[in-house]
Amino acid sequence: MALRTHFEGHNDIGVFAKLTNNFCLVSVGGSENFYSVFESELADNIPVVHTTIAGIRSIGRLTVGNTHGLLIPHTATDQELLHLTNSLPDKVKVMRLEERLSALGNTIVCNDYVALVHPDLDKETAELVSDVLNVEVFRGVIANQSLVGTYCVLTNQGGLVHPRTTIDELDQLSSLLQLPLTAGTVNRGSPVIAGGLVVNDWTAFCGMETTKLSCL
């Protein structure tokens, strides 16, 4: 079951949050209702950490993480890095990356075992993704879109991808990632999956306009 919420009237909640199996990041400056939805569902199990990245609230677009680690862009401040390191579980390694494609959440999508990355991601960055997140890394596109982190969300059980992903592409991606995948939309037809949906292995949060049919 997905819990619906919004961030200051915006249904693209994935822009303002990042969720894994052992931590959740939420942007500062949202309404109490936005925070309470996450905290009431998660706080008994994992930390819900309020933060910015480089002083920017769109933390979902700028970060990528899983049970093992969190990657943030080089523009993140020392204070933000220290705050995240101190707030997350000890087993989570936090690292700043020097990468031209600095919106890491848009260019990388992962679970606890695999990551799909933008075809043009720097080789050294791809190696750090593998090391810090402890995943096998693959380069690819989704429905001819290079911003794989924008058009896909993954858990350890499966994933949701861009609605124009063909059956052949779904089969190839599923085989590559060893995960069942489904094509769908969020927020009444939006293909920007990660913008409107944040998930982990046991819960999900989506924008207020997402219908039951969107994710089918």
Domain boundaries, the chain: 2-207
| Nearest-angstrom CA–CA distance, 165 and 62 | 24
What's the pTM? 0.94
Number of other CB atoms surrounding residue 172 within 10 Å: 14
- Asked if 125 and 131 count as a contact pair (C-beta separation under 8 A), the reply is no
Listing DSSP states for 134-196 in one string gives T-EEEE--BTTBS-TTTSEEE-SS-EEE-TT--HHHHHHHHHHHTS-EEE--BTTTBS-HHHH
pLDDT at 94: 98
SS3 category, 9? coil
pLDDT at 185: 95
pLDDT tens series, the chain, 216 aa: 678 998 888 899 999 999 999 999 999 987 788 899 999 999 999 999 999 999 999 999 999 999 999 999 999 999 999 999 999 999 999 999 999 999 999 999 999 999 999 999 999 999 999 999 999 999 999 999 999 999 999 999 999 999 999 999 999 999 999 999 999 999 999 999 999 999 999 999 999 888 764 544
pLDDT at 174: 98
Q: Kindly state which CATH superfamily the domain 2-207 is placed in.
A: L-arginine/glycine Amidinotransferase; Chain A (3.75.10.10)
Give the length of the chain: 216
Instruction: Characterize 181-215 residue by residue with b for buried, 16 or more Cβ atoms within 10 angstroms of its Cβ, and e for exposed.
Output: bebbbbbeebbbbbbbbbbbeebbbbbeebeeebb
